A and B are shown apart, each in its own frame.
Chain A
Amino acid sequence: MTIPRYYEFQNPVKINAGEDALRTLPAELKRLQAARPAVITDKGVSNAGLLDHVLNGFKNSDITIGLVFDETPSDSSVTVVNRIADLFIENNCDSIIAVGGGSAIDTAKAVNIVVSENEKDLRKFVGADRLSARPKPLIVVPTTAGTGSEVTLVAVISDTEKGVKLPFTSRLLLPSVAVLDPKMTISLPPRLTATTGMDALTHAVEAYTCLQKNPMSDAFAWSAISLISNNLEKAVSSGQDTSARFAMANASLMAGVAFSNSMVGAVHAIGHACGAVAHVHHGNAMAILLPYVMKFNLDTIGHLYAELLLPLAGAEIYANTKPTLRARKFIEEVLLLNYRLSKLCAMPVKLNQAGVKRADFKKIAEMAVNDGAMLPNPKDLSESDVLSILNEAY
């Protein structure tokens, strides 16, 4: 392992994980000197009864929930954020509990910007490091296992008026606590379990192989891959398997810590563009593109893919594969994983199955080379490189 000549790493998020972790919510709020939290979630969570689990965590405590908002849409917007911020203030809330997947968590982070900076126009804070006010305590309870948002410093919110996505990054967006309770991811449907799991795998692989990698992020990425390899298929095929579900929640969080510090690469750059142009679900875009982007990167970072064969395929396969063939074997193992997942839950493994048209390619390629995630990718990609990857993945 080579250590970069300089790197930075930070993960200040406290992690409360395991059986009845939700019961720690009142104590955590007290520790953070908060007494009236606002719960931000979505209809899926409340209909599945998951919100009740959270509220039950407050039984016999002296904390009053100031507000429950369960109308967060799957693609959250500035309007929604401002509406929740108004309710937060009207109801004298002093902290936020986000319960849900990427959208609810990103919405909660953005609400935190509005109520802490005391400024309604979110656009003023778009970009990196534009925040200055001390944020309200934010506790995150993820109900999907993939985005890693519970430990990342990013939020993305749609500006529906202008039809663009607004990215916010700041250390001040980092949650105070992430609560992983095995009962919270149990109801995630098989397909979503598979695609969000592949998103987590992609976070770990890109974190381990891209330019900002460092010994700390490597450790998180490595363990995440090992957990995903042993548990993703189980979580997809038998959703009630709490130990597989809990392992995936841990893997997703660890991959989140890894990529939050070492960034992602070309899979994400092209995936973001597929999402924007052809509305491909993020996790599904990751699953489809990961093997083909790795094939492209092979001559530059093959030695790192070779190392990852061990956590992905296990000691026996690793030892029985010639060192010069391990990188290719790793890519093959990811492809095989995709096909097995596809058998289990009909997850698309090619772009044409995911609704992408060849006519979209040009636009996707143009957008992808302008995506910030291209920068940490160790190998340069031109538009024509992206086009050939898209062709292969079609």
Chain B
Amino acid sequence: MAIRTDIEPQREDLKYHAVKVGFMALGRALQSASHFENEVIAEASAWNEGFTFSMDVKHTGPSLVMQKQGRILKFLGNEKCSNADLIVEIQDLETAFKMITTQAGAHHVFAENKISVIGNIPDSMRLIRLIYIIEGYLFPKFLNKNILKRSPVMTLQKQFNRLHILTKGMLFGK
């Protein structure tokens, strides 16, 4: 083997973009659901106007930044917000990739010490519940059972919600 020096870390652009798309989908779906989904409205009501959270992938990004505006949780984009009220840091891109591809749920990632939280615990518990609710809509049961402790029961109302989120929600965040 030849001697090599100054080996720069490789980048996985494909994974980065996959995570970014995943975060955008999650953000738009959550924004959409905050208009009409009862559980989401109830959870979000605990946050004050302007409350901001930023879910960041450490070192590389991307981020998922959202803010409470009126009754709505507004998706603000994929740029890290370092003065957010709640910052959830995912340790690396690989972990974030596993999360958005339903290979690992938030509780699994916590159990592996691959997430850290800056902010208060009740807020982070609330955010995790919001993400669970949205994942229940985004993924069919055979996938969401890998990442949720309890798959939601899909009532007729929830079927309509899912349709709404996957169409109008994904396109316009409404």
Taking beta carbons and an 8 Å cutoff, which residues of A are in contact with B?
4, 6-8, 127-130, 167, 211-212, 263, 369-372, 374-376, 378-380
CB nearest neighbor in A for B119? A127
B154 touches A (CB below 8 Å):
no
Chain B residues contacting A370 (CB-CB under 8 Å) are 121-122, 125-126
Stretch of B5-13, B29-37, B105-113 lying at the A interface: B105-113
CB nearest neighbor in B for A261? B113
With contacts A127-B117, A370-B122, A371-B121 taken as known, whether A376 is within 8 angstroms of B110 at the C-beta atoms is: yes
Chain B residues contacting A211 (CB-CB under 8 Å) are 107-108, 110-111
The 10 closest A-B pairs by CB, nearest first: A370-B122, A380-B149, A380-B150, A212-B111, A211-B111, A372-B121, A370-B125, A6-B112, A8-B113, A375-B107
With contacts A369-B125, A370-B121, A370-B122 taken as known, whether A376 is within 8 angstroms of B116 at the C-beta atoms is: no
B163 touches A (CB below 8 Å):
no
Chain A residues contacting B149 (CB-CB under 8 Å) are 378-380
B21 touches A (CB below 8 Å):
no
Within 8 A of A (CB), among B73-121: 106-108, 110-113, 116-121
B171 touches A (CB below 8 Å):
no
- Select B128's contact among A4, A130, A371, A375, beta carbons within 8 Å: A375
CA distance A256 to B93 in the complex (A): 32
Contact check, B126 vs A376: say whether CB atoms are below 8 A apart. Answer: no
CB nearest neighbor in A for B132? A380
List 22 A-B residue pairs with CB atoms under 8 Å apart, sorted by A's residue number: A4-B112, A127-B119, A127-B120, A128-B116, A129-B116, A167-B121, A211-B111, A212-B110, A212-B111, A369-B125, A369-B129, A370-B122, A370-B126, A372-B121, A372-B124, A374-B125, A375-B110, A375-B125, A375-B128, A379-B150, A380-B148, A380-B150
Chain B residues contacting A379 (CB-CB under 8 Å) are 149-150
Interface size on B, residues (CB 8 A): 22
Per DSSP, chain A at the interface is loop
Chain A residues contacting B112 (CB-CB under 8 Å) are 4, 6-8
Chain B residues contacting A371 (CB-CB under 8 Å) are 121-122, 125
CB nearest neighbor in B for A300? B149
CA distance A372 to B117 in the complex (A): 11
Minimum CB–CB distance from A239 to chain B (whole Å) comes to 37
Chain A residues contacting B116 (CB-CB under 8 Å) are 128-129
CA distance A7 to B128 in the complex (A): 21
Contact check, A376 vs B118: say whether CB atoms are below 8 A apart. Answer: no
Chain B residues contacting A4 (CB-CB under 8 Å) are 111-112
Minimum CB–CB distance from B43 to chain A (whole Å) comes to 10
Chain A residues contacting B124 (CB-CB under 8 Å) are 372
Chain B residues contacting A372 (CB-CB under 8 Å) are 121, 124-125
Within 8 A of A (CB), among B109-162: 110-113, 116-122, 124-126, 128-129, 148-150
CA distance A114 to B154 in the complex (A): 52
CA distance A370 to B86 in the complex (A): 15
Contact check, B122 vs A376: say whether CB atoms are below 8 A apart. Answer: no
Chain A residues contacting B126 (CB-CB under 8 Å) are 370
CA distance A6 to B92 in the complex (A): 14
Most buried by B among A7, A212, A263, A376: A212
Contact check, A376 vs B107: say whether CB atoms are below 8 A apart. Answer: yes
Known: A128-B116, A375-B107; 7 extra A-B contacts, CB below 8 A, are A4-B111, A8-B113, A127-B120, A130-B118, A370-B121, A375-B128, A380-B148
CA distance A151 to B137 in the complex (A): 42
Chain A residues contacting B129 (CB-CB under 8 Å) are 369
